[in-house]
A and B are shown apart, each in its own frame.
Chain A
């Protein structure tokens, strides 16, 4: 019995161990920031590598915790994203006094996400969600000297509290009408009565808030802009991915009886999200705000894929998230380096960037092309599979709408590329020396963007593990 729990909770235990190690490092003898960073990155790499070996299937704690090969894969993707973010924040963290605490917060949040993804019960899900959100609010405040950073943290915690309230109310309604919180039992009690529908919609609103779907997205831009780049990257990639994974599995597993309703909800949300995300992204000059809105639009596309409610739907979600990890983190990596070394975060500062920093320019360009979905980058295949999954419902109007919006998004991504390559600037950003480890992370991202798209076995592997409705 006890040994099976160790195997099932392998990734969670490893992460907890990491948190304790961090505490020891903090309490122990004085070390330089560089050495702490190196230790942490090695540990994160071990953490990722250990997760890759073998998978397990089963439940623990009376069905509170469940896992299978697909969930292990999802957690591995989150581990990978965590490692990449850590490697890219090297330049920023090197001169930060409280870096051990910073990692503590992020790791705790990640641990919360793991429990959330594996939850087999609404209560467990709620605990995981809160555990993943509250540390992030503290992390958002980590540019201690900046007012904007504190503002971001305040906005995040207040908005989250509000959404948690709504979510809890939804859970209460569901509990009130069914008398259970366990996913397996709940399914049998779900029906079309207005009380339960209302509870379900409140629950969906809570999810929509976390993945910043329109109209629950308004906190996103302010928080992204104010937070340190590493936290922004974490929020936009890891946090979103974790909630999307959970959202999908709950929709597919628990709310199967009202599939037609949530299909409608997803359509409405995705149309609003894609449209508003694109329209706002068009006019942003702050790079982080720009990426915030473009990532809102990306979520809209993901929702279309999920709405396919098939094995292809969940496979294309995970596939797209993997690609999104590479593409978005490559873009954030460049912004992070530039922001840490020069303090500049505006797109107009990037004019003439190619002349001084050709390597970073290429990384940024490839990442943006992948986000825009230009073949042959992986982003194209990711979007394509999402569309294919969505098209299974034969709602061609929706697909056409999404495809048209891909063209709009293409325009604003290209605008950035134009600024980088073609615009003149009298005072371009000077030539930057990038830390080796960050450069390495960028190479991984670029390799990921190219290989994930071109090597068919990646998708085949994900598809073979994924579960439909």
Chain B
């Protein structure tokens, strides 16, 4: 049991780094802060791998089932005899997997930032914030108590606020960080109320005990929570939906997604860390962590499913219309997280029907690598051209061969082209959806095609198209630094290798809803539809955004030829052109983007304005005249008397 105690060091090292760099960084470590942060995180990463090896291959499995091990538990606050808030470390398949994801991606970001953030005035502060964020994220993953989750959850919010607002001289960055914080805090409110409901009925805040109590249909706790109802839904549904609301806020699910695109104001490596691999998947992790509870309530799972599927589709459509490369990536993240959510939604707990759970975790795992690769690649590009806008880019493939190759691999991975990582995980999700809900499967399939389209639109506009633009860059002074230092290239290479390789991990052997291995196999026939759709989407994208004078390149010539055949034989091009340019863009894409800007954002704005207006309207009460005050006082006495003596007696 205690032979996992060393895991404690994994979060503690970044915490120590934060304290040291936060207190003394600016004075003593102004130059070396990056090295210190990276070294400390490297240690954490290595420890995570040691833990993973020990858990998955040495002693995690008992009788073919992976056990949930509580490596450490310290009662931090005894609230009442039964309810306590504990701090501890849980070791189970998903927490160990998340350890790997968070430490590796964070390490890559630390490394990349060495070059990217070089010369920034507050370099040490930046690394201090990165460490704080990593610490909070790790603490969240390892939580044994739902309240521990909540505390680290808030800490993640605070540290991401600091990171997004890092360029605090930039008003848009400050506004974005505030928006992100307030929107997610609003969602966290739901989370907190959900915790209180679940904790109140369960009589405990310990996740293990909660699961134990609520998964047996006969337990008194389960009966009391399912029979109590409010507005027509049982308290279990309310509690879970409210908890999901917190998750949806952090994971940018509709309609709480409005902060994510704006949050791209932060430094790009930060986006890679927060908005690709860690914080935004916290919501998915939360649902997965409480999955046995969710699986007991059909209604809550249905909400998870539809919110996920709708977000996936909506974000993909919007992504097609964006011109800021980081915003395209932001929406694509939202879309992919939508996949993970609905995969959880269609899953059941345990056995064969738990496929969705495993698929969701698998996708979370692979997505972390290829999406952080995309963000870091975008970071390199932005570093090069000093702009986020697609129109300022083009023809960069010769200038940045490594970035180009890495970006292409990541695009292929997210598009789900075999044998890249995204293919395997997306296949599992589609299979799970296909067996449970055909409508969701259809949406997922369509979204997959859209994903390929907009990702390759991004790819072609950055690296191909305007050759002229590339020529100006050649003579540009910015070009002096080439693709950046080796610390910027190395993470790209490592992550690219992961984006190719991690798909081959036999994931279902390790991570399933009940801990027992699940047999899965890639069904070739089943894969034909999604892969073919993706390839067609890529070809269409190529025809729109890649200029024609680049046929010389062999690989692309192959795709080009394939495309021409498709063009002549199926006339999909005209159809697609008609649908996208004439129908989808003006009638669906733009209205949705508009509604997103004006109605969803506008509603939040309205709330704020109304509050301010009422505040102005009632200032007359505060006149400064004592006799008026006495009058109101007397009015208060009368009102209370009438209320409580005559009305509510």
Contacts and interface: CB of A to CB of B under 8 A. Distances in A.
Interface of A: 154-155, 158-159, 162-163, 166, 192, 194, 197-198, 201-202, 204-205, 208-209, 214-216, 218-219, 221-222, 261, 264-265, 268, 276, 279-280, 282-283, 312, 374-376, 387-388, 391, 396, 399-400, 403-404, 406-408, 410-411, 414, 418, 421-422, 456, 459-460
A399 B158 CA distance: 24
Contact of A411 (B168, B182, B643): B182
Nearest to A411: B182
- The listed residue with most A CB atoms (<10 A of its CB), out of B630, B644, B649, is B644
B22 to A, nearest CB: 12
Given A162-B633, A215-B633, A408 B611 contact: yes
Interface string B615-646: 11011011010101110110111011101110
- The listed residue with most B CB atoms (<10 A of its CB), out of A163, A166, A218, A460, is A218
B174 interface: yes
A460 B78 CA distance: 7
Contacts of A459: 77
Contact of A166 (B154, B619, B637): B637
Contact of B633 (A205, A387, A422): A205
- The listed residue with most B CB atoms (<10 A of its CB), out of A216, A387, A406, is A216
A196 to B, nearest CB: 10
Interface stretch (B192-200, B325-333, B421-429): B192-200
Contacts of B189: 403-404, 406-407
A375 B148 CA distance: 11
Nearest to B616: A283
Nearest to A406: B189
Contact of A192 (B174, B624, B630, B649): B649
Nearest to A204: B640
Contacts of A460: 77-78
Contacts of A201: 637, 640-641, 644-645
Given A162-B633, A197-B645, 17 more contacts: A154-B626, A159-B629, A166-B633, A166-B637, A215-B633, A218-B629, A268-B643, A279-B615, A312-B80, A375-B154, A388-B196, A391-B200, A399-B196, A403-B189, A407-B182, A408-B611, A460-B78
B76 interface: yes
A194 B635 contact: no
A153 B142 CA distance: 56
Contacts of B624: 222
B637 A279 contact: no
Given A201-B644, A282-B612, A162 B618 contact: no
Interface bracket on B: 35 or more
B570 interface: no
Contacts of A159: 626, 629-630, 633
Contacts of B639: 215
B158 A280 contact: no
Contacts of A218: 621-622, 628-629, 632-633
B57 interface: no
30 contacts: A159-B633, A163-B633, A194-B649, A197-B649, A201-B640, A201-B645, A208-B636, A215-B633, A215-B636, A216-B632, A218-B622, A218-B628, A261-B644, A261-B648, A279-B615, A283-B619, A375-B155, A388-B79, A391-B196, A396-B193, A399-B193, A399-B196, A403-B192, A403-B193, A410-B182, A418-B174, A421-B168, A422-B168, A456-B75, A456-B76
Interface of B: 75-80, 85, 150-151, 154-155, 158, 168, 174, 178, 182, 185-186, 189, 192-193, 196-197, 200, 230, 611-612, 614-616, 618-619, 621-622, 624, 626, 628-630, 632-633, 635-637, 639-641, 643-645, 648-649
Interface SS of chain A: helix, strand, loop or mixed? helix
A221 B622 contact: yes
B185 A410 contact: yes
Contacts of A208: 636
A265 B626 contact: no
A174 to B, nearest CB: 15
Q: What are the 8 closest A-B residue pairs judged by CB atoms, nearest first?
A: A456-B77, A215-B636, A218-B629, A279-B615, A375-B154, A205-B637, A282-B615, A201-B640
A411 B614 CA distance: 16
A198 B629 contact: no
Contacts of A194: 645, 649
Contacts of A162: 630, 633
Contacts of B612: 282-283
Nearest to A272: B636
Contacts of A403: 189, 192-193
A2 to B, nearest CB: 42
B647 to A, nearest CB: 10
A312 B626 CA distance: 38
Given A192-B649, A215-B632, A280 B615 contact: yes
- The listed residue with most B CB atoms (<10 A of its CB), out of A205, A208, A400, is A205
A374 B185 CA distance: 10
Nearest to B613: A279
